[in-house]
Each structure stands twice: as structure tokens, then as C-alpha cells.
Amino acid sequence: MVGVFRSIPIRSRLTRFIFGHPHGVSHHNYTMLSSRGVRSAGMLDIPWRYAPTQSYDKDTNPDGLISFAMAENIPMRKEIVKYINEKVTFTEDSIGYRPKPSTAARLPAALADHLNRNFKPHVPVDPNTILVASSPTALGGMLGYSLAEPGEGILVSRPMYGRFELDYGVEAGVEIVYADTGPVEAFTPAAVEKYEAALKKAEEKGTKIRAVLVVNPNNPVGRCYPPETLKELLKFCQKHQLHYISDEVYGLSVFDSGDPDAVPFTSVLSLDLSGLIDPKLVHVLYGFSKDFASGGLHLGFLISQNEQLQKACKAILRLHPASRAAVTIGTTILEDQEFVDSIIAKARNGLAASYKLATSTLEREGIRYVKGGNAGFFIYIDLSPYLPTDPGLSAQQREFSLAQKLVDAGVFLHPGEEHSKEPGWFRLVFSQEEEVLVEGLRRIFSVLKGK
Amino acid sequence: MVGVFRSIPIRSRLTRFIFGHPHGVSHHNYTMLSSRGVRSAGMLDIPWRYAPTQSYDKDTNPDGLISFAMAENIPMRKEIVKYINEKVTFTEDSIGYRPKPSTAARLPAALADHLNRNFKPHVPVDPNTILVASSPTALGGMLGYSLAEPGEGILVSRPMYGRFELDYGVEAGVEIVYADTGPVEAFTPAAVEKYEAALKKAEEKGTKIRAVLVVNPNNPVGRCYPPETLKELLKFCQKHQLHYISDEVYGLSVFDSGDPDAVPFTSVLSLDLSGLIDPKLVHVLYGFSKDFASGGLHLGFLISQNEQLQKACKAILRLHPASRAAVTIGTTILEDQEFVDSIIAKARNGLAASYKLATSTLEREGIRYVKGGNAGFFIYIDLSPYLPTDPGLSAQQREFSLAQKLVDAGVFLHPGEEHSKEPGWFRLVFSQEEEVLVEGLRRIFSVLKGK
């Protein structure tokens, strides 16, 4: 998959899947749709793109599937739900089209307070720079639409959360362009040279780059970026007049891994941008999906001083609004700083424990992984020694084959999603209840080691 | 506005507003955005497009604005909120990315039951034909994207809820094309001739029509369509292979107006489509915004047997998802049939009383309106005798001028939004608390009659 996905633009790639895939659909079937409707529908036909859901339950479905693919802090969900049931009161502003102005002001104010307390901003976050929408995912689509023309590109390092191709591509038609970095190299200031090379190559092929997207803390590597790397990337954006999109949805899901060399989280908001970049080129994404274990709440935020962009996003917000019930929940939580502090602390402790359990198991079994992780819900692991070696198989087929064996053993790792330079790397999501994590790892090793 | 908006495609119209409006923005200001971002941002500059919010409160803000522009059943909101606070229990499936399959099946099943009990479907609604998204508004954008190319058209009668131009146009770039009907004519079988003429004219100008959008019960006229008219429109769609989009969000907001000639509601689901149209061309929109007074909950449904369309919409649903908290609320409500029956009955009684109060006041004051209304939250009224007559003013300027006078007197009617053939018609939303309705009407007449 890596080889195929690296060089072919999303449109032709998808067209091939739609029209060329043996189990795909023929053009004839889609005569009732627009060409872009056909393109979107075809995205569901890409093998493995839509992952199976976890169905395992120790008591009720012990043979069910354990998924290590969905980046969700599962153990924290019960804490959030308990709080909602006990503390949240809904009002007419939770269901009406437009809340009272005093209500409408509360969530941006509470989020600004939250960021000012936790992200160490260089200048306090102004609530007026915050746009509330349905999720960081939807905001990705909105940024793609508002910042780039169809077919233009957004530059990311490699490996990278693969679904950005959907967020920015599925409607806006914006291409994700990969800088050819490795999973450790991507965090070094020197990585900017790979961004330069990718920019040059893309523009030579006629793909104009409009933005750099940095996920910090990083998904899938689980590391934070050192400030000197962030500064190089900001200067790179300023030099080429690119937007700098900082996806900081894991900003508080940073934990003590016990590794003294692990890099602490530095929000781009905490940097003095003067001399680095025009602040109007810098846009931060945040939301409830990760630090608040509420991906299904669909509550996301854009923080940007760019009034043009804010206005463009407001105009299309009618298609991507947060539910006002979700806004009520989010407001109540963020205004309760004591609760926020307690769940962030609890989440960090839980992540640290799961991370240590997972990494010690990997080490015991001799599985290589990217060290230095201290953030997010995942470990980037190297299963290349376990790929089938049949000479007739492509790199993609080898990854798919291993993934199928794992699924057959009741555990799912998403093949090819993170666009590693080398085949065989997988993102392992460890933010599970301990018993599920242990059982899922056991299933993996039953396949890899035949035990 | 009517004269201007009738003939100019949305793109050039907006471009003019962006670049030509005296208070608009210059191109120079938008150099950081894509061309479509500029277009979207410019939509916020259209005069009156974004209406002021109701701020009136008898006790705390008696000088605040009363808005008769937002189609919301305000008196019913407190009933829904009370129910949510008393009856809804949230679970991990309310905040997680993916609910358990048993949970995921509940809302489509409950909605199918609801429609089967209340919409008299010819064939029972199958839960598998239901797609849950964030709102009928977002679904409009999704249908525009999936069914039409940018610049293609969707045909509607006149007058019509004006924001469809945003729903279908703001991202998907699909044009709303108006059949040149009057507010009574639009409900007659003969109206299909006006649709034919509009289709012909649009296609001669190079705008391919891909769908007809029928709002039944109608917004802004407040009437339901007789089955013979629906059948003619369905045959028209079959003849030209157009999609038939039936927006039925007011389906249960039908009341006894006391007019024996008022037409009862006929869902397109209740018609035997055989011999009329390919069922795969028929798509129904429903949601919680109107019949459940919960526009801000952002919970909408597409009911369609077209598997291609379902698939295309599922692929872009990641940008338009309903909050799972809203899904929990909606599921709990729809599964409680006793509660649904009670609030629907209460809403109908309230709408009937408000309608009678508003129409009797209009008649006493000699204001003409479209009779025969028995549905929705609005009355379509003729204020053309009160438009300023200065010869230098355009029709749009005359409507804006009257709207400004009304706002100055503390009441808002949205000028030009419904694209009447003749200037001076306004949609009056009456679904307010009685005291607010009386005070708002008093303010209108203080302007019109100088009393």
C-alpha cells in the first residue's frame, strides 16, 4: 500500500479503486450520482480503510474482536459519562437554534481559560479567536476547503495518521503530500529539509502546497516535538507563505513514561512567533475526542487569529455544527476546573501504566518500536520481521496478509494506515482496560510467535 | 432582491456582493484563502442574510428584539428540555466513537417505528434505508454534493425557504433554480408546467437540473401538498430522471386551523410509487428541528432506498456526524411513544392557537396573507402596501427599508428570503409564547399603521 499510495494523487488512486478493483463497483451502478458522489462512495470500497469495530467483552463476548486501531481513551469514558449524568443540566439553549448571547459566550471563554491554564500560551488565548464546530475531523475538511483549491496539497511528515486523506480529501479534494521522513527523523530540526524536498517535488508535478499540518503530540509515534523543530517548521511556512495547522488534540494526553529523554509537550500557542511567522498563518485544532475521551460527542475547536479564515469557516459552519447538547456538556466540564484537573491526572496515570505494560511486553517478546513516546494512545511497532515473504506479494499485500492473520486470531491492527516509509509498521493503540490490553497482546503474539 | 436574485447564478451574485458591495471586502484582504474560501466568507457580507437573534424578554429585556424570522417552535422547547433532564441517561455509547452494534441499531429502528406510526407509509420504512446525520441542513449539503456537479441546479417552486441556497450552495456550489409559481399556484397539479418551463430555461442557459426539492408541509406558505400535485411532480422527475427530494421536517407540525378546505399532510412515503417514479430517485429528509423543537440538537435523517446515495453519504458523513449525545437523546425520545404522542398533540394545539391569534389579528388589521395554512410555524403575509414608494428604490431596497423600520421598532421579519415573485411578501413565524406573539404583532402594526 505504501508504494502505491506514495505517488498517485488521491483522485486517480480512488478512481482506480472504484473502477479497477475486482470487488469494486462499475461505473454503470452509479449513474444516479454526481462524479464527486461516485468518488466518495468509492472510498468505502478501499480494502481495510473502514476498520472493524471492537466487539470483545470478557464476560459477554470473549471471542469478540479486540481492536488496537481506534485511537480512543476507552478507560476514561466511564468517568466522563458519570460526570455528565450527575452534573450536566440541559436548558432551552441546549436544543434551540441560537442560544442567548450570554450562553453562547461561555464555551469559548471556558476553552480559553482551559488553554491558558494548560497550554502555557505566549499571549493569553482570546475567546474571540475560537470557533466551535462538530469535531477536529470536520474542521480539517473546513480548513481544506477554505485554504486550498481542489487538487492542491497539504504537507505532512511520515508516518502520519492516515485518515487526514479523508478529512481533507473526501469533500474538499485536497491532497495529503508526504515528506519522506522516518519516525525518529520527523522530530528533528533537520526534517525541514525533507519538507523542502517534498514541496519542491510536489510543485514540480503541479501540486501547489498550501499548508503544513503538524500533529503534536504526534499520531502515530506518540512523541512531542521539541520547540527547535517547531520553530524550523514555522520558519519554513513563513518562507513559503504556507499555513501552519497544528493539531494538538492530544495536548494533555502526555504522561510520564519513565524515559528521562522524552520531550515534553510544547503547544505552538506557547511560542513567541515574532520573527518566525505571521500569526495569521497559524491555526490550532483542539477538541474533546482525546483529552476528554469523547470522540462521539463531536465537539471540536479551531483557534486562529486569522479573521478571514474565521469568517470563511463560519459561513460553512451550518454544515458542520456542534450539537448544542454537546456544547452544554463541554461547557459544564470545562467550567469545572477541579474536575478537569482530576480527569487529566487520572488519564495520564492510566496512559503511563498502559504504556509501560505494553512496552515491557513488546520488549520481552523482542518487538521493535519507536522509543521516546510519552503522549497519545499508541506505540509505533515494527512487525516487518513477521510479514510473509512470498516473492509474488506486494508490500501492501504482505501487510494485508499479516493483518488478516491477526484478525483471524481476534485482534486488529490497521495495515498501511500511517504511511510508513518501510512496510510492516503498525500503530498499536494501548489505551484499553488492562485486561483487554493483555488479552489483545496475547493474541498478537499467538500469531507472531505461534504461541 | 427578488429581481436581482431571480436570474443571476449564485456564484456571480456572490462575487458581486464580495467585490462590489460598498461595505464589502476587497480581494486583497483574502489572499490567504482559497477561491472557494473567499466565496464562503463573502456570504456573510450579504445584507440581512444573517438575521439578528431574538433578545426580547418581558421581564429582563422588554426593549429587546422580537424575531419572527427563525422557524422554531419556541413554546415546545421547555417540554423537550424537561424530558431530557428527567429521562435521558447517557452511556459510554453517548461519547465513544463507535457505539455497540446493538446501540447503533436503536435510533434507525425507533425512527422507522415513528414514521410507520405517523407517516402512513405505503411500504413500512426499513431502518436500513435511514442515515443519521447532523441535521437536514447538513444533509442538504451532502445531497447537493452527491447528486449534482458544482454549477448544476436543483429546482424548487416559489416562494421557498431561502436558505436552501446556502445548504446546497455554500460548499457544494449547487444552484437553486426557481419555478415561477405563485404561493397558491405552487400547490396545484398545473404547477408542473412552471417546473417544465424553469427546467427548459435553465438547461438552455447551460444549467443542468439534477433534482426537484419539495418542502411538504411547505415553508414558507404553511400548506400541505395534495397527493395529486405530488404525483405530478413525481412523474415530472421520472420523465426527466431527476431526483425527488422531499423535505418533510414539518410532517407532524400540522394542526387544525378550522379551515375545512385545508389539505392534510401526505408524506411521499405514503404514496404507491409504482407507475410514477423509480423509488431510487426519491429521498426524504426528516429531523428533530421542527416536530421536536430541537434545531440546536442537530439531528437529521435521510430516508432513501438508493444504496448508491447511501454509500456516497456515508463516505462524507465523517464531516457531518450527529453527536452521539444527540443520538442518545433522540433515541430515548423516539422510543417513548407515549411521550412523542403527547408532545405532538401539545405542539399541534399550541400551533393552532397561535395561528388563530395571528391570523385573526392580521384580518382585523387588514393584512393580506395566504389562506389555507395548517402546518409549519409561519404565515406568508403581504406587506407590499407598506413598502416605501420612492421611485429611485429597487424592489430589494424597498423591502430592506421596511425591514429596517420594523427592526427599529423592535421586531424582525426577514426581507426577501423566500423569493416571492412579487416584492413585499414576508414569512411571519408565529410559534412564539402568546405574550411575545402579541407584543411582536403590536410592534409590526405600530410601524405599518403608525399606532
Task: Indicate the fold that domain A92-336 takes in CATH.
Answer: Aspartate Aminotransferase; domain 2 (3.40.640)
Kindly list the domain boundaries of chain A, sorted by start residue. 2-76+342-448, 92-336
Residues 158-197 on B with a CB inside 8 Å of A are 166-167, 170-171
Q: Which chain B residues touch A38 with a CB distance below 8 Å?
A: 312
Q: Per-residue confidence at A307, pLDDT binned at 50, 70, 90?
A: very high
- The angle at the Cα of B407, spanning B402 to B410, to the nearest 5 degrees, equals 135
Minimal Cβ distance to A298: which of B38, B316, B321: B321
CATH architecture of B95-336: 3-Layer(aba) Sandwich (3.40)
Q: Is the Cβ of A102 closer than 8 Å to some Cβ of chain B?
A: no
What's the confidence (pLDDT) of residue A27? 41
Q: What letter represents residue A304's amino acid?
A: S
Average pLDDT over residues A52-68: 94
Contact A412, A69 (CB under 8 A): yes
Q: Which CATH class is domain A2-76+342-448?
A: alpha beta
Does B87 have pLDDT greater than 60?
Answer: yes
Matching residue, cell 460598498: B22
pLDDT at B25 over 70: no
Please indicate whether, in this complex, the C-beta atoms of A97 and B321 are within 8 angstroms of each other. Answer: no
Q: In whole angstroms, what is the distance from residue B305 CA to residue A193 CA?
A: 52
d(CA B66, CA B441): 10
Between A11 and B401, the higher pLDDT residue: B401
Q: Is the pLDDT of residue B20 over 50?
A: no
- Distance of residue A299 Cα from the nearest chain B Cα, in angstroms: 8
Minimum-distance CB partner of B33 among A53, A309, A329: A309
Flag the least confident range among A10-24, B26-40, B317-331. A10-24
| Chain A contact present for B30, CB below 8 A | yes
Interface touch B326/A326, C-beta < 8 Å: yes
A394 contacts chain B (CB < 8 A): no
Tell me whether the omega of the peptide bond preceding residue A183 falls within 30 degrees of 0, making it cis. Answer: no
Whole-number pLDDT of residue B27: 41
Q: Given this model, what pLDDT does residue A283 score?
A: 98
At B245-254, the pLDDT tens digits run 999 999 999 9
Element spanning B238, H or E: helix B227-240
What DSSP character marks residue A423? T
Q: Are B3 and B13 in contact (CB under 8 A)?
A: no
Kindly indicate the confidence band of residue A29, based on its pLDDT and cuts at 50, 70 and 90: low
pLDDT value for B9: 36
Please name the residues in contact with B320: beta carbons below 8 A apart, sequence gap of 6 or more: A134, A138, A319, A320, B133, B134, B138, B139, B141, B142
Of residues B64, B153, B115, B97, the one with CA closest to residue B337:
B115
Check whether A116 has a pLDDT greater than 90: yes
- Report residue B394's pLDDT band, with 50, 70 and 90 as the boundaries: very high
**Inter-chain touch A315–B35, beta carbons under 8 Å:** no
- Closest Cα in chain B, distance from residue A200 (Å): 20
Averaged pLDDT score across all residues of chain B:
92
The CATH number for B2-76+341-448, chosen from 3.40.50.970, 3.40.50.720, 3.90.1150.10, 3.10.150.10, is 3.90.1150.10
Report how far residue A4's alpha carbon sits from residue A13's, in angstroms, rounded to the nearest whole number: 8
* A149:B36 CB<8 A: yes
Indicate if the pLDDT at residue A117 is higher than 60: yes
Report pLDDT for A42: 87
pLDDT range class, residue B29, cuts 50, 70, 90: low
pLDDT at A257: 97
The closest of B169, B202, B219 to B379, measured between CA atoms, is B219
Say which residues have a Cβ less than 8 Å from residue A201's Cβ, sequence separation at least 6.
Answer: none
Residue/partner pairs of B445-451 with CB below 8 Å, 24 or more apart: B445/B365, B446/B409, B447/B386, B447/B402, B447/B405, B447/B406, B447/B409, B447/B411, B448/B365, B448/B367, B448/B383, B448/B386, B449/B365
Query: In the prediction, which pLDDT does A386 show?
Result: 97
> Would you say residue B386 has pLDDT above 80?
yes
Flag whether pLDDT at B18 surpasses 60: no
B323 closest CB neighbour out of A171, A318, A323: A323
pLDDT at A194: 98
Find out whether B389 and B402 touch, Cβ atoms under 8 Å: no
Q: Do A90 and B85 touch (CB under 8 A)?
A: yes
What residues of chain A lie within 8 A of the CB of B329, using their CB? 325
Q: What is the pLDDT of residues A381-413, one digit of tens each?
A: 999 999 999 989 999 999 999 999 999 999 999
Q: Which DSSP string do the residues of A161-189 spell out, in sequence order? A: -TTHHHHHHTTT-PEEEE----TTGGGSG
Residues in chain B with CB shorter than 8 Å from the CB of A94 are 81, 84, 296-297
B95 CB within 8 Å of a chain A CB: yes
**Cβ neighbours of residue A234 closer than 8 Å, sequence gap 6 or more:** A244, A268, A271, A273, A276, A277, A282
Whether B97 sits inside 8 A of A296 (CB atoms) is yes
Q: Which of A174, A146, A180, A133 is nearest to A160 (CA)?
A: A180
B339-348 per-position pLDDT tens digit: 999 999 999 9
B51 has pLDDT over 90: no
Q: What is the pLDDT of residues B166-197, one digit of tens each?
A: 999 999 999 999 999 999 999 999 999 999 99
d(CA A403, CA B190): 61
Report A:371-390 residues touching B (Cβ under 8 A): none
pLDDT bin (cut points 50, 70, 90) of residue A451 is: low
